[in-house]
């Protein structure tokens, strides 16, 4: 089955210790997104890639970086995690083939990040 | 800036009861999606509506898109404990992005 995979599902890191979360997709979608979600709130978009074009949200802290080495993989790097960065991180994809305002996004299961 | 407001924020009902979740905006959206998210998992797409006045049914779930494409509703008939979760509406926005509503937490008690 075509899907969005996130690893690991749970990640524990220490305050200030860099951490990388990974996402892969078998949907062959052009667009990949990273969201941050805190307890029962709506997901908050951090950034997204359309193919290799990186699109950062204006309010995403510099502490968050991303890499997309190929169509299938996308990584979220948190350079110096703070306690406030503890959250669920969601990866999503969309085909990008339809008009940009009509795009269905497909989410991975998420990575729960704990910062000690 | 396009905003989506969901109501209620939280809904607790007994198994077998009906419920309706609302998603409203002052802006027109070209499409609107509904997701359900279970605890510890990612959101799962339930439906996409694109035409004003459109009604879609998915088993016991009925989705409606307002005539002016500014609002939508999700109605669940005879709710079951498996319907428990966070329901999110999201409107299609430019730049391949979605505008999310604040979410409605639904708890269906057996």
Q: What is the pLDDT along chain B (110 residues), one digit of tens a residue?
A: 678 999 999 999 999 999 999 999 999 988 899 999 999 999 999 999 999 999 999 999 999 999 999 999 999 999 999 999 999 999 987 778 899 999 999 999 99
What would the mean pLDDT of A4-31 be, rounded to a whole number? 96
CB-based contact A42 B103, cutoff 8 Å? yes
Q: What pLDDT score was predicted for residue A98?
A: 66
Quote the DSSP letter at residue B81. G
Do B49 and B29 form a contact (C-beta atoms < 8 A)?
no
How far is Cα A29 from Cα A50, in angstroms, rounded to an integer? 9
| CB within 8 Å of B18: residues ≥ 6 apart | B75, B76, B77, B78, B79
Tell me the nearest-neighbour CA distance from B44 into chain A, angstroms.
Answer: 7
Q: Is the pLDDT of residue A1 over 80?
A: no
Q: Which two tokens stand for residue A24?
A: 């892969």
A32 neighbourhood in chain B, CB within 8 Å: none
A90 shares contact with chain B (CB less than 8 Å): yes
Could you tell me which residues are beta bridge partners of residue A32? A49, A93
When pLDDT is averaged across residues A90-112 and rounded to a whole number, the result is: 85
Predicted confidence band of residue A108 (pLDDT cuts 50, 70, 90): very high
Tokens of B54: 């459109």
Which chain A residue has the Cα nearest residue B41? A109
Q: Which chain A residues are closer than 8 Å to B29 by Cβ? A: 101
| CA distance linking residue A57 with residue A41, whole number of Å | 18
Q: What values do phi and psi take at B25, rounded to 5?
A: -150, 160
Nearest Cα to Cα of residue A103 among B33, B4, B103: B33
DSSP assignment of B1-34, as one string? ----EEE-SEEEEETT--EEEEEE-SS--S-EEE
């Amino acid at each position: 089955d075509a899907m969005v995979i996130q690893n690991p599902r749970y990640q524990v890191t220490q305050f200030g210790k860099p951490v990388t979360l990974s996402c892969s997709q078998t949907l062959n979608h052009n667009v990949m997104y990273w969201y941050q979600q805190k307890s029962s709130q709506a997901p908050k978009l951090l950034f997204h890639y359309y193919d290799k074009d990186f699109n950062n949200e204006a309010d995403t802290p510099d502490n968050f970086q991303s890499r997309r080495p190929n169509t299938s993989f996308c990584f979220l790097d948190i350079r110096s995690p703070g306690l406030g960065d503890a959250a669920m991180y969601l990866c999503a994809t969309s085909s990008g083939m339809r008009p940009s305002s009509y795009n269905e996004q497909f989410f991975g299961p998420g990575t729960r990040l704990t910062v000690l | 800036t396009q905003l989506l407001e969901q109501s209620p924020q939280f809904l607790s009902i007994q198994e077998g009861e009906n419920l309706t979740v609302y998603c409203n905006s002052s802006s027109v959206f070209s499409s609107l999606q509904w997701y359900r998210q279970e605890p510890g998992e990612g959101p799962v797409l339930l439906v996409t509506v694109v035409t004003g006045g459109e009604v879609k049914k998915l088993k016991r779930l009925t989705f409606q898109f307002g005539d002016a494409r500014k609002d939508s509703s999700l109605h669940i008939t005879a709710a079951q404990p498996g319907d428990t979760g966070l329901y999110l509406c999201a409107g299609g926005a430019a730049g391949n992005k979605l505008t999310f509503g604040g979410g409605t937490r639904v708890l269906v008690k057996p």
